A and B are shown apart, each in its own frame.
Chain A
Amino acid sequence: MKSAVVLLPGLNRDRDMIAALTKISGTPPVTVWQTDTEIPDVDLITIPGGFSFGDYLRCGAIAARMPVMRAVAEKAAKGVMVIGVCNGFQILVEAGLLPGALMRNTSLKFVCRQVKLQIANANTMFTRRYQPGQIIRSPVAHHDGNYFADTETLARLEGEGQVVFRYAEGTNPNGSINDIAGIINSQGNVLGLMPHPENLIEAAHGGSDGRALFESALGIAA
């Protein structure tokens, strides 16, 4: 399985994502720059976290309009897997590849801590190595992770199993509706989540709860 990492000015978790993909798949991902109009033939495209374009206008808004995102949309339409983490999630919703919006945390504070996540749907290409309902740990670090969707969209997400990760055990750090931490698109090949699974993949991180997400996507046995 081959993977790619999208690079944009202001992202700062790109090296973490590259390290995680390299360690888990055994092969370094290719990197694509914001102005690239084509993405090489890969199975998985990741958009890391950070503060693309300084979070100007709205988080992810400028990045979502860069040429590379048109290429990501074309690949996604062909069924290539896409994972957006944190700012990557914000970019995916701004690009219209995922529904809803990510708003300022209700606390108005930047949150940087560990939360608990429930696997709300273990029957996706990103979560099949987890058990349904399993509780895992994950770091979060964001100021705008408060997921919002209108009533109709929310009902569809919940009804179709598109809510994949939910903050568990009272650890919702941002006030997101229905404790939503991560969702997939209706085709099931685009995932966005605020937590950082790439920062919990080995003993040196204090645990490997996030590893199964990448093993699921990359088709690697645990």
Chain B
Amino acid sequence: MIKARITVTLKNGVLDPQGKAIEHALSGLGFGGVGQVRQGKVFDVELAESDKAKAEADLKAMCDKLLANTVIENYSVAIT
């Protein structure tokens, strides 16, 4: 079995109102010097597959088809 972690983040230039709110909240808690905060998503996926290359291709297809909206989001796949 292969375990993977998929990280989905907003593309540069796409406004992230939630990240902005978190950024302000961190400053409000007294954390000085907080720059930009961007919120993303993490998916831990288990695959019944032993071929790493095949797994990686499948995981990328999953991102393109469902897990990420490539209009506004980038993704990365890491097999752990």
Enumerate chain A interface residues (CB-CB to B < 8 A). 57-58, 61, 65, 93-94, 99-101, 103-108, 146, 148-150, 175
Interface residue SS majority, chain B? helix
Whether the Cβ atoms of A148 and B72 lie closer than 8 Å is yes
Chain A proximity of B62: nearest CB distance (Å): 11
Contact partners of A108 in chain B: CB under 8 A: 17-18, 21
Whether the Cβ atoms of A101 and B72 lie closer than 8 Å is yes
Whether the Cβ atoms of B69 and A58 lie closer than 8 Å is yes
Residue of A nearest to B68 (CB): A58
- Any chain A CB within 8 A of the CB of B15? yes
Docked CA distance A57–B8 (Å): 11
- Contact-residue size bin, chain B (C-beta under 8 Å from the other chain): 10 to 19
Interface residue SS majority, chain A? loop
Whether the Cβ atoms of A148 and B15 lie closer than 8 Å is yes
Whether the Cβ atoms of A65 and B65 lie closer than 8 Å is yes
Contact partners of B67 in chain A: CB under 8 A: 57
- Any chain A CB within 8 A of the CB of B71? yes
Contact partners of B65 in chain A: CB under 8 A: 65
- B69 contacts which of A61, A107, A146, A149 (Cβ < 8 Å)? A61
- B71 contacts which of A100, A106, A146 (Cβ < 8 Å)? A100
- Any chain A CB within 8 A of the CB of B29? no
Docked CA distance A102–B31 (Å): 32
Whether the Cβ atoms of B72 and A104 lie closer than 8 Å is no
Known: A101-B72, A103-B72. A146 touches B66 (CB 8 A): no
- Any chain A CB within 8 A of the CB of B34? no
- Any chain A CB within 8 A of the CB of B14? yes
